[in-house]
Chain A
């Protein structure tokens, strides 16, 4: 399998649930990213891992927590989300920070 894959593709969860999104890249890249895309808003960068080092992003609520166990895998752990967190969550990777990014197909998340 090539490129960037994400699972699940669709997720519906209640506000009290805990779930995780998974991203895997088969491109040999060193940087991985989580984005949030809401309707009528620009893509928002949530987290960056560059050579497995996470950048702090203070603007992301703590109910989202990323994990990067190795350079090929990235997780986004979700807990006690709010309905306004419903969005398309995109994972991307690049050779390193600042270079062109290749996106996965996204997970469409609905919080009820």
Chain B
């Protein structure tokens, strides 16, 4: 069975701190790994990673995939209160016609002023 595990499940930091969120996966026929941010509404897309070792960056957020370790990290530098959200990791699997997308439980990040 496909599995996506995120850690930590929750994290409380102060503004200005740097955080690292982890995602590990076990899926058949890996295609990509997706990171999302979910506040009090639907998830919004952050990154899609397909190649190992290539960092994707968007402002203070960056992410990298390690296919050997079957994992990915999401870094947020100089955190702000607006970064408070649930960060979701998801891995799609296209096993023939059997489409599956497995989400982790998410990391709840709280950034205090």
- Binary CB contact string for chain B from 30 to 55 against chain A (1 if under 8 A, 0 otherwise): 01101000000111110010000000
Chain B facing A: main interface SS: strand
How far in angstroms is the closest Cβ of chain B from A54? 10
**What chain A residues lie within 8 Å of B90 (beta carbons)?**
43
CA distance A103 to B31 in the complex (A): 20
CA distance A99 to B41 in the complex (A): 21
Tell whether A99 pairs with B42 under 8 Å between CB atoms, given A45-B101, A48-B99, A55-B97. Answer: no
**What chain B residues lie within 8 Å of A103 (beta carbons)?**
42-44
CA distance A100 to B92 in the complex (A): 10
Asked if A97 is at the interface of the complex by the 8 Å CB criterion, the answer is yes
- Interface residue count for B (Cβ, 8 Å)? 24
Chain A stretch 73-112: residues in CB contact (< 8 A) with chain B: 90, 92, 97-106
Residue B103 contacts which of A42, A99, A102 (CB distance < 8 angstroms)? A42
Closest 10 CB pairs of A and B: A103-B42, A43-B103, A98-B31, A42-B103, A98-B92, A100-B45, A55-B99, A48-B99, A45-B101, A100-B48
Residues of chain A touching chain B, judged by Cβ–Cβ distance below 8 Å, are 33, 41-45, 48, 50, 55, 90, 92, 97-106
Residues of chain B touching chain A, judged by Cβ–Cβ distance below 8 Å, are 4, 31-32, 34, 41-45, 48, 88, 90, 92, 94, 97-106
In the assembled complex, 29 residue pairs joining A and B whose CB atoms fall closer than 8 Å, in A order, are A33-B101, A42-B4, A42-B88, A42-B102, A42-B103, A42-B104, A42-B106, A43-B88, A43-B90, A43-B103, A44-B103, A45-B102, A48-B99, A55-B97, A55-B98, A90-B42, A90-B43, A98-B31, A98-B92, A98-B94, A99-B32, A99-B48, A100-B34, A101-B34, A101-B45, A102-B45, A104-B42, A105-B42, A106-B41
